[in-house]
Amino acid sequence: MTKRRDILRIAIAQLDPTVGDIAGNLERARQARAEAARAQADLVLFTELFIAGYPPEDLVLKPAFVADCMAAVEALGADTADGGPGVVIGSPFRDASGLYNSAALLDEGAIRAWRHKVDLPNYSEFDEKRVFRPGPMPGPVNFRGVRLGIPVCEDVWGEHGVCETLAESGAEILLVPNGSPYYRDKMDVRYQIVVRQVIESGLPIVYANQLGGQDELVFDGGSFIINADHSLAVQMDQFEAGVFTATFRRGDKGWACERGPLARLPDAEEADWRACVTGLRDYVDKNGFADVVLGLSGGIDSAVCAAIAVDALGEERVRCVMMPYKFTAKSSLTDAEACARALGVRYEVVPIFQPVEGFMQALAPLFAGTNSGITEENLQSRARGTILMAISNKFGSMVVTTGNKSEMSVGYATLYGDMNGGFNPIKDLYKMRVYRLAEWRNRHRPSDCRGPGGEVIPHNIIAKAPSAELRENQTDQDTLPPYPVLDDILECLVENEMSVEKIVERGHDRATVERVEHMLYVAEYKRRQSAPGVKITRKNFGRDRRYPITNRYRDR
Reported as a single tens digit per residue, the pLDDT across 25-77 is 999 999 999 999 999 999 999 999 999 999 999 999 999 999 999 999 999 99
The three-state secondary structure class of 23 is helix
Q: Express as a percent the part of the chain with pLDDT over 70.
A: 97
Residue range 533-548, pLDDT digits in tens: 999 998 888 777 878 8
Set 48, 128, 216, 407: catalytic member: 48
Set 35, 69, 117, 469: catalytic member: 117
Question: What is the residue type of 461?
Answer: I
Residue range 471-497, pLDDT digits in tens: 666 666 667 889 999 999 999 999 999
Rounded to an integer, the average pLDDT of 342-352 is 96
Looking at residue 71, its pLDDT comes to: 97
Q: How confident is the model at residue 1 (pLDDT cuts 50, 70, 90)?
A: very low
- The question of whether 62 is a catalytic residue gets the answer no
Q: Express as a percent the part of the chain with pLDDT over 90.
A: 82
Q: How confident is the model at residue 199 (pLDDT cuts 50, 70, 90)?
A: very high
What share of residues in the chain are helix, strand, coil (percent, to 5)? 40, 20, 40
Which domains does the chain show, CATH number per domain? 7-259 (3.60.110.10), 269-527 (3.40.50.620)
Q: How confident is the model at residue 154 (pLDDT cuts 50, 70, 90)?
A: confident
Looking at residue 3, its pLDDT comes to: 66
State which H helix or E strand residue 321 sits in: strand 318-322
Q: How confident is the model at residue 2 (pLDDT cuts 50, 70, 90)?
A: low
The torsion angle over the Cα atoms of residues 249, 252, 254 and 259, rounded to 10 degrees, is: -40
Neighbouring residues of 309: CB distance < 8 A, sequence distance ≥ 6 = 280, 292, 294, 317, 318, 400, 425
pTM of the shown model: 0.93
Q: How far is it, in rounded angstroms, from Cα 70 to Cα 407?
A: 45
Q: How confident is the model at residue 137 (pLDDT cuts 50, 70, 90)?
A: very high
**Does residue 90 or residue 465 have the better pLDDT?**
90
Neighbouring residues of 219: CB distance < 8 A, sequence distance ≥ 6 = 16, 54, 179, 180, 181, 182, 209, 210, 211, 212, 213
Residue range 235-291, pLDDT digits in tens: 999 999 999 999 999 998 899 999 999 999 999 999 999 999 999 999 999 999 999
Q: How far is it, in rounded angstroms, from Cα 55 to Cα 383?
A: 37
Burial call 367-386: b when 16+ CB within 10 Å, e when fewer = eeeeeeeeebbbbbbbbbbb
Set 69, 153, 320, 449: catalytic member: 153
Question: What is the residue type of 197?
Answer: Q
DSSP 479: T
CB of 200 closer than 8 Å to CB of 164 = yes
Mean residue pLDDT of the chain comes to 93
- The question of whether 117 is a catalytic residue gets the answer yes
Q: How far is it, in rounded angstroms, from Cα 279 to Cα 263?
A: 22
Residue range 416-447, pLDDT digits in tens: 988 999 999 999 999 999 999 999 999 999 99
DSSP 271-292: HHHHHHHHHHHHHHHHTT-S-E
Neighbouring residues of 463: CB distance < 8 A, sequence distance ≥ 6 = none
- The question of whether 48 is a catalytic residue gets the answer yes
Q: How far is it, in rounded angstroms, from Cα 327 to Cα 385?
A: 17
